[in-house]
């Protein structure tokens, strides 16, 4: 009897080992695949944003006079049209200079968390793809909320937890969020952890304010819970951008980095 129990226990242990090993290998493969795909997308973006150099004449060639032509400004949408053609859920690109954070952003109003575990190509992925809250409307809502996973090594939105340190904010005070219609910089004005159960207010609840007093109340709440004073403050009419990810220290559920774009400002 003991021999049978021993044999059964060994079989179970061996099965657990095989399954655990297989899952570990799949995890490594999945992460590598996700990073490779995002790198390819980032390379595509670099190609789109790199100006094409004007052709130069051979050294000995005699210049041929040409009439002056006023160039037609290239619309911002053209730079991102490639991604919209690849995935109709594409709504923009978010990045923070001199960090690992540079990713396409998607939105699916019918199923908000569709991309929680899906790649930009809609395949299964532990990294997911940053996505916009279903209640936000790009170009109309005053408050755009983007969710992304916290992946070790500052991947995806992992770098956001570094904003706990004000020195990191001082070095990276701007979030760039480009859409199909405009390119814009957002100045960070608040950084705070969030305990969803015990939070004094719900920072995800409002995507539009119908009056100045309601907007000011929201800003005051963000500033009150911010980990430090950024020296920045939005005013009525400014557009708010929130990046949200899981916290890393286990004490809180989320960490939010909240920024604003002054009304009418965009990058040409």
pLDDT in tens, 160-208: 999 999 999 999 999 999 999 999 999 999 999 999 888 889 999 999 9
pTM of the model: 0.81
Looking at the DSSP assignment, which residues form a beta bridge with residue 254? 194, 246
Looking at the DSSP assignment, which residues form a beta bridge with residue 132? 146
- DSSP per-residue letters across 166-203: HHHHHH--EEEEEESS-EEEEEEEEEEEE-TTT-SS-T
Phi, psi of 150 (to 5 degrees): -95, 105
In CATH terms, the fold of domain 76-261 is Sortase; Chain: A; (2.40.260)
* pLDDT tens-digit readout, 235-255: 999 999 999 999 876 677 999
Between the CA atoms of 60, 63, 64 and 68, what dihedral angle is there, to the nearest 10 degrees?
A: 150
Query: Can you tell me the distance from the alpha carbon of 178 to that of 267, in angstroms, rounded to the nearest whole number?
Result: 9
Give me the tens of pLDDT residue by residue for the chain, a chain 268 residues long. 555 544 544 545 444 433 333 334 444 556 788 899 999 999 999 887 665 555 555 555 555 554 444 443 443 557 899 999 999 999 999 999 999 999 999 999 999 999 999 999 999 999 999 999 999 999 999 999 999 999 988 999 999 999 999 999 999 999 999 999 999 999 999 999 999 888 889 999 999 999 999 999 999 999 999 999 999 999 999 999 999 999 876 677 999 999 999 876 666 5
Domain limits, the chain:
76-261
Between the CA of residue 265 and those of 71, 78, 93, 212, what are the distances in Å? 23, 19, 17, 19
Between the CA of residue 163 and those of 97, 154, 220, 245, what are the distances in Å? 14, 12, 19, 12
Residues near 251 by beta carbon (within 8 Å), at least 6 away in sequence: 193, 195
Query: Can you tell me the distance from the alpha carbon of 83 to that of 80, in angstroms, rounded to the nearest whole number?
Result: 6
């Amino acid at each position: 009897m003991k021999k049978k129990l021993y044999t059964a226990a060994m079989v179970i242990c061996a099965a657990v080992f095989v399954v655990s090993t297989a899952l570990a290998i799949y995890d490594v493969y999945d992460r590598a695949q996700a990073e490779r795909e995002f790198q390819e997308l980032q390379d595509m973006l670099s190609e789109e944003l790199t100006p094409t150099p004007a052709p130069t004449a051979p050294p000995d060639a005699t210049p041929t006079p040409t009439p002056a032509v006023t160039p037609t400004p290239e619309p911002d949408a053209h730079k991102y049209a490639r991604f919209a053609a690849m995935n109709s859920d594409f709504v923009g690109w978010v990045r923070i200079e001199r960090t690992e954070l540079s990713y396409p952003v998607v939105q699916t109003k019918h199923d908000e968390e569709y991309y929680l575990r899906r790649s930009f190509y809609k395949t299964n992925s532990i990294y997911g793809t940053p996505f916009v809250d279903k209640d936000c409307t790009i170009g109309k809502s005053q408050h755009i909320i983007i969710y992304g996973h916290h992946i070790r090594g500052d991947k995806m939105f992992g770098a956001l937890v570094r904003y706990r340190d004000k020195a990191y904010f001082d070095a990276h005070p701007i979030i760039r969020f480009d859409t199909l219609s405009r390119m814009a910089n957002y100045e960070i004005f608040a950084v705070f952890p969030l305990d969803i159960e015990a939070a004094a207010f719900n920072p995800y609840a409002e995507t539009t304010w119908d009056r100045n007093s309601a907007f000011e109340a929201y800003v005051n709440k963000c500033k009150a819970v911010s980990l430090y004073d950024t020296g920045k403050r939005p005013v009525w009419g400014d557009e708010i951008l929130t990046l949200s990810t899981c916290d890393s220290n286990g004490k809180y559920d989320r960490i939010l980095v909240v920024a604003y774009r002054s009304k009418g400002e965009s990058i040409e």
